[in-house]
């Protein structure tokens, strides 16, 4: 989660795409799952002129809020404790203050005011590790700042539903393709 340390590390992804002449620089989208969704949202905030659409599957959008949360049920509590421990270790933070700063910087919620790309959040309605509230809260903040956003709550979708539940995965993928088509297809192709 903390592989990047600056906005330049994030925008390097789009810089690399710009080296390919077959890539239309006016139609760059970002799609990510879990940690990849976090990076996609951060990329949209750090490079708002080039990222034109985002689809984020079950991201953590506010690390300090998520990290401080509680879970119910033995399995959920154990999984949450493991995820929190892993996040702390991966951060490499020298102390708690440094760790909290890193959590804020890694939070897409901190970039809401800079995101201009339309964002589709896709979240399993039954996800207990990363509750749908993560996507819903950020979508509401994006709407407040004037961004186009939707949240697709996948009925009966659990954690990582798109790898475990074929029908829910198919439905979510159709919505993903429709979103990207709507915001990345050339204008002439849309009207024709």
pLDDT-derived band at 11, boundaries 50, 70, 90: confident
Cα–Cα distance measured from residue 163 to residue 57, given in angstroms and rounded to the nearest whole number: 12
The pLDDT tens digits of the residues spanning 136-157 come to 999 999 999 999 999 999 999 9
pLDDT at 9 over 70: yes
The pLDDT tens digits of the residues spanning 71-116 come to 888 887 888 888 888 888 888 888 989 888 888 888 999 999 999 9
Region 163-185 average pLDDT: 96
Architecture of domain 7-185: 3-Layer(aba) Sandwich (3.40)
Residue 102: per-residue pLDDT: 85
Query: 57 has which bridge partners?
Result: 33, 122
- C-alpha distances in Å from residue 104, one per residue of 65, 99, 136: 10, 9, 18
Region 158-163 average pLDDT: 92
Q: Give residue limits of the domains in the chain.
A: 7-185
The pLDDT tens digits of the residues spanning 14-23 come to 889 889 999 9
Q: Which residues contact 75 (CB under 8 A, 6 or more apart)?
A: none
Q: β-strand 149-154 against 28-33: which pairing, if any?
A: unpaired
The two structure tokens encoding residue 77: 């509590």
**pTM metric for this prediction:** 0.88
């Amino acid at each position: 989660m903390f592989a990047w340390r600056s906005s330049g590390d994030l925008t390097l992804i789009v810089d690399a795409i710009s080296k390919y002449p077959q890539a239309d620089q006016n139609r760059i989208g970002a799609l990510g799952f879990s940690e990849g969704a976090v990076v996609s949202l951060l990329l949209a905030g750090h490079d708002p002129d080039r990222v034109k659409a985002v689809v984020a599957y079950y991201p953590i959008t506010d690390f300090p809020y998520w990290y401080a949360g509680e879970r119910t049920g033995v399995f959920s509590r154990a999984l949450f404790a493991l995820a929190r421990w892993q996040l702390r270790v991966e951060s490499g933070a020298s102390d708690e203050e440094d760790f909290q700063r890193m959590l804020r910087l890694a939070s897409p919620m901190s970039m809401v005011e800079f995101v201009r790309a339309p964002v589709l959040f896709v979240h399993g309605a039954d996800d207990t590790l990363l509750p749908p509230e993560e996507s819903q809260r950020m979508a509401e903040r994006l709407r407040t700042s004037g961004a186009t956003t939707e949240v697709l709550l996948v009925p009966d979708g659990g954690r990582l539903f798109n790898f475990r539940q074929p029908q829910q995965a198919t439905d979510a993928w159709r919505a993903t393709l429709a979103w990207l088509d709507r915001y990345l297809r050339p204008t002439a192709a849309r009207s024709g």
